[in-house]
Amino acid sequence: MDFREQLKKAVEVLQNGGLILYPTDTIWGIGCDATNAEAVKKVYDLKKRAERKGLLVLIENEVRLNSYVREVPEMAYDLIELSDKPITIIYPQGKNLAENVYAEDGSIGIRVTKEDFSRSLCQRFRRPVVSTSANISGEKAPRSFSQINEEILNGVDYVVDFRQEEPGNAAPSGIIKLDVDGQVEVIRE
């Protein structure tokens, strides 16, 4: 299957409430429709992760932030533009997403992806896509496709066959928490 066929199949699975395993701008991710609470629950179940922790979502460009964040701090746009590596920003209050995707305090982690497949996926799907590391909660995140646990591979509805042969040097994104009042907290560099 070529890139477009992979993309089409992944979008179909997302539209039907399924889970995908896909390459992102960082490490391989488990994805689903971030607006579908039942699909989000499947991700928590597969990862054996507590729902109160929340999940991060990917969008294709910063213009879409206003659709999913109640109040976007101005600094967020600068951080996205100036960052030389993938950066996830945790915003104080999300909106228009599945209730179980938010952290216990209502915050939401969002990353604007610049990687070809994940960006195209978000564009074509026209909704944010959950992106959580392809591992069981508490286990080490895989740095390459070959390190992904069989339980994860068998637990998703579709595995994207793109970039699977890349070497194991992928790393998670940096994480910054922003408050509306301008406070910044670096959670992971």
**Domains by residue range for the chain, with CATH:** 3-188 (3.90.870.10)
12 pLDDT higher than 80: yes
How far, CA to CA in Å, does 93 sit from each of 4, 34, 64, 89, 188? 34, 15, 15, 12, 20
6 pLDDT higher than 80: yes
Asked whether the beta carbons of 20 and 32 are under 8 A apart, the reply is: yes
User: What is the average pLDDT value for the chain, to the nearest integer?
Assistant: 93
What is the pTM assigned to this prediction? Answer: 0.93
Count of CB atoms within 10 A of residue 96's CB?
Answer: 12
How far, CA to CA in Å, does 159 sit from each of 9, 105, 145, 170? 10, 32, 10, 18
User: In the prediction, which pLDDT does 143 show?
Assistant: 86
Amino acid symbol at 31: G
Asked whether the beta carbons of 170 and 135 are under 8 A apart, the reply is: no
pLDDT digit string (tens) for 23-77? 999 899 999 999 999 999 999 999 999 888 899 999 999 999 999 999 999 899 9
Residue 69, both tokens = 């964040």
